[in-house]
Structure 1
Amino acid sequence: MARWGEGDPRWIVEQRADATNVNNWHWTERDVSAWSSERLRQLLLGVRVEAPEGACQLTDVSKLDGEASINNRRGKLFFFYEWQLRANWLGTSSGGLKYRGTVDVNNLSDENDQDDLDISVSLCKDQPGTPLLDLMKRTGVKEVRRVLGQYVHELKSEFSQGMTFPTADGQKSSTPAPPQKNQVETSKTQISPKCSYNPPACPKGGLIPTCSFNLKETFQTSADELYRTFINQEFVQVFTRSPASVDGRVGGRFQLLNGNISGEFTQLVPDHKIEMRWHFRSWPGEHHATVSLHLQDRGDETELRMECRGVPEGEEDSTREGWTRFYFQAIKQTFGY
């Protein structure tokens, strides 16, 4: 891990009088949760649908939990957002009768496309049946889906303009990150904002039977960039989307994914190899596996070969899945590698 005043000069920002983010090298983040909350309310309260059976209008937003941020890394913009919301609707039948209900959306996030949003509509418990419920399910859901898509569009276009920075040649870079859906082509599995996976607990004791496995993955980035992604605390916190402690030097310790994973770096060959003692919380006592990551630069991509030795017997499948989902796929999805 680079330190202030050492290593690659692109990391030396604190010593610059103007604190210029040279070539957009650093991870720059803007919290847009407050703006998002206000904009979502405005858009949702504008939802109104009509039909011969009557009209329905969203009257207030009773639940809006979540967060959103825009990040700039080397001229690319990355958007993170996750919201759970509930809106109340009021329906008026053609005969003038009033009905009340709710609309719930639990998966508005950067991991889901507009068409994949799970939107449910219901009547309040004390309300009798009414054709207006079908109107909301048929037309109201489409309108809610449309305005949520409008929020995402505004987040990625209008509101993100201030996240572009001058590069070393004086030009502005505003290259958006590729759409999330296309960033991970090897698998359709998505990661959750706070990653965790829980293999069954191993029996406690002394020596235990172990097993080994190998993995191979290709990343659309350079070897030096991928190397830093694994040993830099800032990068690790971004792709795991949770607090992490990473001391990227030989003998340095790490802890991530809410404390489920911990260990120590035992060998570091910059841009070529990372070796570590690696432990999952449910494993017996202080038992550690040995994980070796070999990086081979192939020009516009990097091949990573992983060797994992000393995994407790019975934990091979869950450990393999954990590395694939919460390291490799998360890195690709987050950074567009």
Structure 2
Amino acid sequence: MAKWGEGDPRWIVEERPDATNVNNWHWTEKNAGPWSQERLKELLDNLKISQNGIDCKITEVEKIDGEATANNRKGKLIFFYEWDIKLKWEGLLAGGKDKVKGEVNIPNLSEENDVSEVDMTVTIKSSGDEAQRVKAFMHNVGKGVIRQQLAEYIRSLKEEFTKGLILPKKGEDAPKPDNVKTITSGFNKKINMEPIVDRQQKQIGCKLDTKNIELTETFQCRAQEFYDAMTRIEMVTAFTQGHVKMEAEKGGKFWLFGGNVTGEFRELVPGKKIVQYWRYKQWPDQHFSEVTFSIDEKEDHTIVTLKQDLVPSAEVDQTRANWKRYYFDSIKRAFGFGAFL
């Protein structure tokens, strides 16, 4: 096994003509938001949906709110996108007198759900039998056509941003998207880390019994890379697979897993140490533990020691399991820190 600083080819800058991101090893990110908005408008605006004498058309893309990013780590692409889309449409029944107008709302187009599972609501502004028949057509047929366009957006997003993120290796003229492994942030499911309610848990006015936790985990990465995974908001978003609020500075707050984990940074030493006040939502109100990550880079791996003080005794086993599942295993899976390529 190659050792850091002793010829490991992943770190040889000369292998890339432009001397950047050797073998696509480091985390890189591109903002795909503006491109995505234009692409979605291109695919949806003036979209015609016709069948069995009913003609409908998307007349306006009224709203596209959200964001999209494309990330590269070890030649793997991780795409994040979350869009709230509102469309205006109109349709006419064969032989009908008046056009039927309405809206299509798509509140959450994201990588967490397959396109076939994306919520889509069809509404109309008029009433009557003709209007209901056109609405039923848009519900039964129109949704399928719109989903095809959304699937095309996702396909083209990955194709477009593969080109810019996966850099050519020595001797290659251009990137080869077909040979790149593309993954999303998870298994089409958000990690929510919902509390398990213990109805016999706490009694107000009683002294809280606490214990300490100590865990040690090995990561195949540089110390700075693990530090970045815990403090850079885009990387924390990647392994938690959900919305993140974070200010990585002394006194800065963080909010993870849908608000089930909150806290504050107390000390930050890049590549060496992270100290946090940390609490789980179901713990007694205002009770925080103190978590210290000690990061120790070795010759060909990094050892992380976690020490957590003042964990409610009833929560020790669950908290220990959550560190392993939601933090350590998720970080390894998201960034490839579990084994060398």
Question: Which residues in structure 2 correspond to 1:1-337 (within 5 Å)?
Answer: 20-96=20-96, 97-124=98-125, 126-129=126-129, 130-167=132-169, 169-171=170-172, 176-180=180-184, 189-191=189-191, 208-210=208-210, 223-225=219-221, 228=224, 230-232=226-228, 233-234=231-232, 235-236=235-236, 238-240=238-240, 242=244, 244-246=246-248, 255-257=253-255, 260-263=262-265, 278-280=277-279, 287-290=288-291, 310-312=310-312, 319=319, 323=323, 326-328=326-328, 330-331=330-331, 334-335=334-335
- Equivalents in 1 of 2:128, 2:213: separation in Å? 59
Q: 1:319 to 1:56 in 2, by over 3 A?
A: farther
8 Å Cα contact 1:191-1:325 kept in structure 2: no
Equivalent pair of 1:237/1:243 in contact (CA under 8 Å) = no
Q: Once the 2 structures are TM-superposed, how far is the Cα of residue 191 of structure 1 from its aligned partner? A: 3.5
State the secondary structure of the residue aligned to 1:225. Answer: coil
RMSD: 4.8
The worse-fitting range, judged by mean Cα deviation, of 18-27 and 43-52 is 18-27
Provide the TM-score with structure 1 as the length reference.
0.68
Q: In structure 2, how many angstroms separate the alpha carbons of the residues matched to 1:285 and 1:105? A: 38
- CA displacement at 1:286 relative to structure 2: 7.0
Partner-residue secondary structure (3-state), 1:118: coil
**CA 1:216–1:47: 2 relative to 1, 3 Å:** farther
* CA gap 1:281/1:160 in 2 versus in 1, 3 angstroms: same
Q: Which runs of 5+ in 2 are unaligned?
A: 1-7
What runs of 5+ residues in structure 1 fail to find an aligned partner?
1-7
The residue number in structure 2 matching 1:4 is: none
What TM-score, normalized to structure 2?
A: 0.67
Q: Check conservation: 1:203, 1:284, Cα contact below 8 A.
A: no
In the TM superposition, what is the alpha-carbon distance from 1:246 to its structure 2 partner? 4.7
Letter in 1 for 2:244: S
Q: Is the contact made by 1:119 and 1:141 (CA closer than 8 Å) also made in structure 2?
A: yes
Q: Tell me the amino acid that sits aligned with residue 280 of structure 1.
A: R
Relative to structure 1, the CA distance from residue 120 to residue 314 in structure 2 (aligned partners, 3 Å threshold; closer, same or farther) is farther
Determine the C-alpha separation between the residues in 2 that align with 1:104 and 1:38: 18
Counterpart-to-counterpart distance in 2, 1:325 and 1:100: 49
Cα distance between partner residues in 1 of 2:146 and 2:321: 36
2:328, 2:306 → 1: CA distance? 11
What is the DSSP-based 3-state SS (H/G/I as helix, E as strand, rest coil) of the residue aligned with 1:179?
strand
Tell me the amino acid that sits aligned with residue 102 of structure 1: E
Shift of 1:21: 3.0
**Aligned pairs, number:** 303
More deviation, 81-90/71-80: 71-80
Distance in structure 1 (CA, Å) of the matches to 2:332 and 2:93: 50
Query: Distance between the aligned counterparts of 2:305 and 2:191, measured in 1?
Result: 22
